[in-house]
C-alpha cells in the first residue's frame, strides 16, 4: 500500500514539474493536458512496423504519411500491418469512445514494447503522431536521411486533447503570392503544432488570387502587377507601359488539390474574399463596380491610404465596391458560387474590414440608396451591403464570417465574427449569441515587430513573444459556447519571401498554438521559453526559419531634462546579460553589463547593445542612435 502511494505521488510530482519546466524532459509544443514520464527509452529498430486497428481511409492515409516520413529521415524500412500486437507503432481507434478525449484527443504510451497511440477518431491519432514526432531527437526533422543515428524516444504516458476547436493561422496570399507548393509547406509546418484551420486571404488591393471562370478579368488583370522591391508604402505607382510581371493565382484545380492536401492533414481551409473595401484588384478588372469613376490599377504597394494613428484612416483613392450598384451583387453572386463549389467548409469569410466611407459620402448613388432604404449613416450603408452579401453566401449553402467591422450598423443574422481590433468586438458578438473567432491584433498579429524596431524588418506596431503567449482565446466572463476558437494572422504586405514569413511566424506561432490547444493550468512562460529553444534546434534541422528576438533587449526611453534622455533595458528571458558600449565599438563580454538606467556621455551618438547568456551571444547586435531615442522620448 505504501509503495503504491509513493508511486502515485511520484507521478503527480512528475506532471507538475514538467508543467513548470523545472526538470529536463520532453520539450513539447503545445504542452499536453497531462504527461507522466517514465525512466527509460525506446529505440526505433531499423525495421519499423505500423499496425492499424481499423482499415478506415483516414487511418490508412495517416499511416502512409508516417511510413514515408520515417523512411525519408531514418532510412529505415517500414511496413503497414494489421493485427500485429508486437508492432513498433500501434495506431488504434477506440471501440468505445472515451468522452474525455473528444474528436481530436489521444492517448500516447511509449514503453519497452514500443509506441501506442489510441483515439476516438483518426484526427486524434494524427495529433498523437505530431506529439510522438517531437519526442524523437531534433534530427528527425531533417528532410534527408540522417545516418548513424540512434533514434531514441523517452518512455512516457500522455493524455491530451485541445482546448478549443478552431485553431487557426491566416496566410495572406494576396499582397504577396505564395505558390501552391509553398502553401502545402505552410500546412505541413502548422500541423506540427496542431493547428487545424488555414484561413487564406485570397483577395486584396494588391492581388486577386483565385480563378473565377465566369469573371476571367479578375485573374487576367487583378492577379498581376509591376514588381517592386524595397519598403512597402513607399513604392511608386505602376507607370504607363510598365509590365505587370509579378503575381499569380490558383486555378480551380489548384484549389481542389490544396483542399485535398489540407484535408489529409486534418486542416480545413477558410477562403476569404475581402469586400467591400480592400477591393482594388477587383476594381482594376471591373472598374464599373466602384462608386467613384476613374482609372484603376492593382496596387503595387504604393500608398493610397493614410493612417494617422488611433485606428483612424483616410483614403486617397476609392478602393471600395459600391453598395448602391446592383451589378456588384450580380458579380459577387458569381464569385461566391464558384468559391462555395471549391471549398467544402461551412464558412466563407467576406472580410468587411477597413472600409473608408469618405467617397461613399460624396456619391449621388449612395445618397439615393440611403433615401430608398432609410439608412441613417454610412455604417448602415455598409451593414446593408454586408447583409446582402450574407444572403448571397447563404444561398450557396454556406455561413458568412467577417472581421468585427461587420458589426457596425447592425450585425447580419447568423453571421460569425472574427475579432481583430482587440477583444471587444468578439466579446460583444458572443454576448449577442453569434459565433466568434478571437484573433485580436494585440496578441495574434504575427506580422508586427517582435523586437526593437531598429533590429527588425520594418512594420508597424509591436507584439512580443511573451504577449502572444499570454493570449487567451476565451476571455473571462464570456460564454465559451459561442467562442469557436482563436487564430494568428500573418499579413504579407512586407513579407516578400517564405523565409521572411517564417521569421515573423515562429516562435510566436508556437505561442498561439499553445494558447488554443493547452489548458490554462499547464501553461508556464519559463517552461515555454525552454521548450522554444529546443524547437529552434528542431527548426534548424527542418530548414525552417524563425526569430530569436526574445533574447534582444527591450528598450524604454524617457526624457529627464532638456534634451537629456534615460534608457532603461529589460529582457523577456531570464538569465540574460545585456552588454553595452557608447564608444562606437561593438560590445562583447568584456564590456559593461547593464544594471541601472543609462544616460549618454557627452559626445556619444550611439548606444550599442548585445545580449549574452552563460557567456554565449544569444541576441542580435543592436545600434540605437541618440537621435532616434530622442524621437521615442517625445
Residue 435 lies in a domain: yes
Asked whether the beta carbons of 91 and 74 are under 8 A apart, the reply is no
Q: Is the pLDDT of residue 14 over 60?
A: no
Give the cell for residue 54.
Answer: 481499423
Give the cell for residue 318.
Answer: 476609392
Say how far apart CA 517 and CA 540 lie, in whole Å.
24
Query: Residue 55: what pLDDT?
Result: 80
Give the cell for residue 123.
Answer: 484526427
Residue 3 lies in a domain: no
Q: Looking up cell 472515451, which residue turns up?
A: 98
Same-domain status, 387 and 240: yes
Same-domain status, 129 and 187: no
Cα separation of the two ends of the chain: 69
Same-domain status, 279 and 232: yes
DSSP state letter for 549: G
Residue 21 lies in a domain: no
Encode pLDDT of 378-392 as tens digits. Answer: 999 999 999 999 999
Of 257, 281, 263, which is closest to residue 201 (Cα–Cα)? Answer: 281
pTM (two decimals) = 0.94
Q: CATH number for the domain including 118?
A: 3.30.379.10
Residue 528 lies in a domain: no
Query: Residue 7: what pLDDT?
Result: 35
Q: What φ, ψ does residue 116 adopt, rounded to 5°?
A: -130, 130
Task: Kindly report the average pLDDT of the chain as a whole number.
Answer: 94
Of 435, 342, 437, 321, which is closest to residue 396 (Cα–Cα)? Answer: 342
Would you call 234 helix, strand, or coil by DSSP? coil
Same-domain status, 108 and 226: no
Question: Catalytic amino acids?
Answer: 204, 278, 354
Q: Is the pLDDT of residue 548 over 80?
A: yes
Would you call 123 helix, strand, or coil by DSSP? helix
Asked whether the beta carbons of 114 and 132 are under 8 A apart, the reply is no
Q: CATH number for the domain including 175?
A: 3.20.20.80
Same-domain status, 131 and 187: no
Residue 531 lies in a domain: no
Residue 561 lies in a domain: yes
Residue 530 lies in a domain: no
Same-domain status, 422 and 507: yes
Say how far apart CA 405 and CA 529 lie, in whole Å.
35
Residue 249 lies in a domain: yes
Alpha-carbon torsion, ordered 146, 149, 150, 152, to 10 deg: -40
Of the candidates 502, 521, 540, which is a domain's last residue? 521
Same-domain status, 194 and 87: no
Encode pLDDT of 354-403 as tens digits. Answer: 999 999 999 999 999 999 999 999 999 999 999 999 999 999 999 999 99
Q: Is the pLDDT of residue 261 over 90?
A: yes
Of the candidates 521, 536, 571, which is a domain's last residue? 521
Query: Residue 15: what pLDDT?
Result: 40
Domain range for 433? 166-521
Encode pLDDT of 126-184 as tens digits. Answer: 999 999 999 999 999 999 999 999 999 999 999 999 999 999 999 999 999 999 999 99
Same-domain status, 154 and 136: yes
Sign of CA dihedral 104, 109, 113, 114: positive
Q: CATH number for the domain including 620?
A: 2.60.40
Same-domain status, 279 and 345: yes
Same-domain status, 101 and 65: yes
**How far from the centroid of its chain's Cα atoms is residue 220's Cα?**
30
Cα angle vertex 424, ends 418, 428, to 5°? Answer: 80
Percent of the chain whose pLDDT exceeds 90: 91
Same-domain status, 150 and 192: no
Of the candidates 98, 130, 160, which is a domain's last residue? 160
The number of distinct structural domains making up the chain is: 3
Same-domain status, 114 and 188: no
Would you call 591 helix, strand, or coil by DSSP? coil
Region 463-485 average pLDDT: 97
Q: Is the pLDDT of residue 479 over 70?
A: yes
Q: Does residue 148 have a cis bond before it (omega within 30 degrees)?
A: no
Q: Which of 53-67, 99-113, 279-293, 567-581 has the lowest mean pLDDT?
A: 53-67
Amino acid at each position: 500500500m505504501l509503495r503504491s502511494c509513493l508511486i502515485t505521488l511520484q507521478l503527480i510530482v512528475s506532471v507538475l514539474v514538467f508543467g513548470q519546466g523545472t526538470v529536463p524532459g520532453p520539450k513539447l509544443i503545445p504542452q499536453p493536458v497531462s504527461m507522466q514520464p517514465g525512466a527509460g527509452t525506446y529505440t526505433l529498430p531499423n525495421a519499423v512496423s505500423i499496425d492499424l486497428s481499423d482499415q478506415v481511409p483516414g487511418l490508412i492515409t495517416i499511416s502512409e504519411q508516417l511510413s514515408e516520413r520515417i523512411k525519408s529521415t531514418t532510412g529505415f524500412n517500414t511496413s503497414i500491418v494489421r493485427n500485429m500486437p508486437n508492432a513498433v507503432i500501434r495506431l488504434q481507434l477506440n471501440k468505445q469512445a472515451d468522452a474525455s478525449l473528444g474528436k481530436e484527443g489521444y492517448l500516447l504510451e511509449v514503453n519497452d514494447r514500443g509506441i501506442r497511440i489510441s483515439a476516438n477518431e483518426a484526427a486524434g491519432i494524427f495529433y498523437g503522431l505530431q506529439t510522438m514526432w517531437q519526442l524523437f531527437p531534433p534530427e528527425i526533422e531533417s528532410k534527408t536521411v540522417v545516418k548513424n543515428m540512434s533514434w531514441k524516444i523517452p518512455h512516457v504516458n500522455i493524455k491530451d486533447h485541445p482546448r478549443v476547436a478552431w485553431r487557426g493561422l491566416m496566410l495572406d496570399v494576396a499582397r504577396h503570392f505564395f505558390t501552391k507548393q509553398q502553401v502545402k509547406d505552410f500546412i505541413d509546418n502548422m500541423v506540427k503544432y496542431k493547428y487545424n484551420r488555414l484561413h487564406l486571404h485570397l483577395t486584396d488591393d494588391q492581388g486577386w488570387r483565385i480563378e473565377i471562370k465566369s469573371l476571367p478579368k479578375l485573374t487576367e488583370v487583378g492577379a498581376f502587377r509591376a514588381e517592386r522591391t524595397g519598403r512597402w508604402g513607399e513604392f511608386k505607382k505602376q507607370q504607363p507601359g510598365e509590365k505587370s510581371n509579378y503575381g499569380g493565382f490558383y486555378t480551380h484545380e489548384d484549389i481542389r488539390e490544396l483542399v485535398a492536401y489540407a484535408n489529409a492533414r486534418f486542416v480545413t481551409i477558410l477562403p476569404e474574399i475581402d469586400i467591400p473595401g480592400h477591393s482594388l484588384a477587383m476594381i482594376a478588372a471591373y472598374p464599373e463596380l466602384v462608386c467613384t469613376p476613374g482609372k484603376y490599377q492593382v496596387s503595387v504597394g504604393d500608398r493610397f491610404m493614410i493612417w494617422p494613428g488611433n485606428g483612424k484612416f483616410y483614403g486617397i483613392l476609392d478602393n471600395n465596391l459600391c453598395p448602391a450598384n446592383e451589378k456588384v451583387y450580380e458579380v459577387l453572386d458569381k464569385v461566391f458560387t464558384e468559391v462555395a463549389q471549391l471549398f467544402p467548409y461551412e464558412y466563407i469569410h467576406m472580410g468587411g474590414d477597413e472600409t473608408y466611407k469618405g467617397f461613399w459620402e460624396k456619391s449621388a448613388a449612395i445618397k439615393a440608396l440611403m433615401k430608398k432604404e432609410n439608412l441613417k449613416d454610412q455604417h448602415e450603408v455598409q451593414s446593408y451591403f454586408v447583409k446582402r452579401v450574407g444572403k448571397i453566401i447563404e444561398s450557396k449553402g454556406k455561413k458568412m464570417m467577417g472581421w468585427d467591422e461587420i458589426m457596425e450598423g447592425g450585425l447580419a443574422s447568423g453571421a460569425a465574427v472574427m475579432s481583430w481590433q482587440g477583444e471587444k468586438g468578439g466579446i460583444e458578438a458572443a454576448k449577442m449569441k453569434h459565433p466568434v473567432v478571437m484573433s485580436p491584433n494585440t496578441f495574434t498579429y504575427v506580422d508586427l515587430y517582435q523586437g526593437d524596431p531598429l533590429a527588425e524588418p520594418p512594420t508597424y506596431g509591436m507584439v512580443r513573444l511573451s504577449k502572444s503567449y499570454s493570449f487567451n482565446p476565451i476571455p473571462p466572463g464570456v460564454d465559451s459556447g459561442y467562442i469557436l476558437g482563436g487564430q494568428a494572422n500573418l499579413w504579407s504586405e512586407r513579407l516578400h519571401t517564405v523565409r521572411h514569413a517564417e521569421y515573423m511566424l515562429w516562435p510566436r506561432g508556437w505561442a498561439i498554438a499553445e494558447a488554443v490547444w493547452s489548458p490554462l493550468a499547464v501553461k508556464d512562460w519559463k517552461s515555454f521559453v525552454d521548450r522554444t529553444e529546443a524547437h529552434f534546434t528542431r527548426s534548424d534541422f527542418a530548414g525552417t526559419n524563425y526569430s530569436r528576438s526574445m533574447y534582444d533587449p527591450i528598450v524604454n526611453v524617457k526624457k529627464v531634462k532638456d534634451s537629456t534622455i534615460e534608457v532603461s533595458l529589460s529582457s523577456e528571458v531570464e538569465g540574460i546579460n545585456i552588454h553595452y558600449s557608447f564608444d562606437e565599438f561593438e560590445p562583447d563580454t568584456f564590456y559593461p553589463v547593464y544594471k541601472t538606467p543609462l544616460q549618454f556621455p557627452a559626445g556619444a551618438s550611439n548606444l550599442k547593445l548585445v545580449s549574452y547568456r552563460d557567456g554565449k551571444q544569444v541576441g542580435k547586435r543592436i545600434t540605437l542612435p541618440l537621435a532616434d531615442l530622442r524621437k521615442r522620448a517625445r
